[in-house]
């Protein structure tokens, strides 16, 4: 049986000038960015969830934030956390270049491990985890808590679930996946886009 080539999926996504500029800035800073197809998926999930409040772990230079905002409600607020002040400054510039109103973003410079526990229970429709992969299991514990019923948690770098991947990163991703799989409230799916996506919807 032949293996389907999905490379066309990335080329099918056309990004606007604000996103392309943010990607160029990411290259300058050496900041990680999700692929265009992953970005489009984030926008889709935010739209389907009717997301008014979203948490992002791993601001980067704002590429994923721009995609999330594109799918959120017009009055939605993105809370995005990153320990790198230079990245967050670049993200502010990216949001401004895209004419995102100041009130629609809340950028928190700090360790997600310290910030996430301070966020309110069941207050967010979508949580996107794209920070330090080794800490994904710890992030996930708070993501489960802060998600509203019907909300969606999205973990990047799920490609490490491939049996061919070994080492601490693969172990952390598998641990996070097991947390989701063992929680009866979640309906999970693994999506082979970018570095791999694990998305799970919380029961209403």
Average pLDDT for consecutive 10-residue bins of the chain (204 residues)?
63 93 97 96 97 98 98 98 97 97 97 97 98 95 96 95 92 95 96 94 96
pTM (predicted TM-score): 0.95
In this structure, is the dihedral angle defined by the CA atoms of residues 95, 17, 15 and 134, taken in order, positive or negative?
negative
pLDDT for position 11 = 83
Take residue 2 and report the two structure tokens written for it.
Answer: 């032949």
CA angle at residue 195 from 4 to 169, to 5 degrees? 130
- Give the integer Cα–Cα distance in Å for 78 and 62: 11
Task: Give the whole-angstrom CA distance, residue 102 versus residue 82.
Answer: 18
Instruction: Classify strands 186-191 and 197-202 as parallel, antiparallel or unpaired.
Output: antiparallel
Beta strands 147-156 and 105-109, pairing class: unpaired
């Amino acid at each position: 049986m032949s293996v389907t080539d999905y490379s066309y999926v990335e080329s099918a996504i056309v990004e606007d000038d604000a996103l392309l500029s943010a990607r160029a800035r990411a290259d300058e800073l050496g900041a990680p960015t999700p692929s265009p197809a992953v970005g489009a998926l984030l926008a889709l999930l935010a739209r389907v969830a009717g997301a008014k409040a979203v948490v992002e772990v791993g601001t980067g230079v704002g590429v994923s934030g721009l995609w999330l905002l594109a799918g959120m409600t017009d009055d939605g607020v993105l809370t995005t956390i990153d320990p790198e002040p230079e990245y967050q400054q670049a993200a502010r510039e990216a949001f401004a270049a895209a004419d995102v109103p100041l009130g629609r973003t809340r950028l928190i410079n700090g360790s997600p491990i310290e910030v996430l526990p301070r966020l309110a229970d069941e207050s967010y429709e979508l949580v996107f985890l794209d920070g330090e992969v080794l800490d994904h299991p710890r992030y996930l514990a708070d993501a489960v808590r802060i998600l509203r019923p019907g909300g969606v948690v999205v973990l990047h770098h799920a490609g490490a679930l491939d049996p061919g991947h070994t080492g601490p990163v693969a172990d952390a991703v598998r641990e996070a996946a097991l947390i989701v799989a063992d929680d009866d409230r979640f309906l999970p799916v693994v999506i082979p886009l970018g570095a791999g996506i694990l998305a799970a919807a919380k029961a209403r």
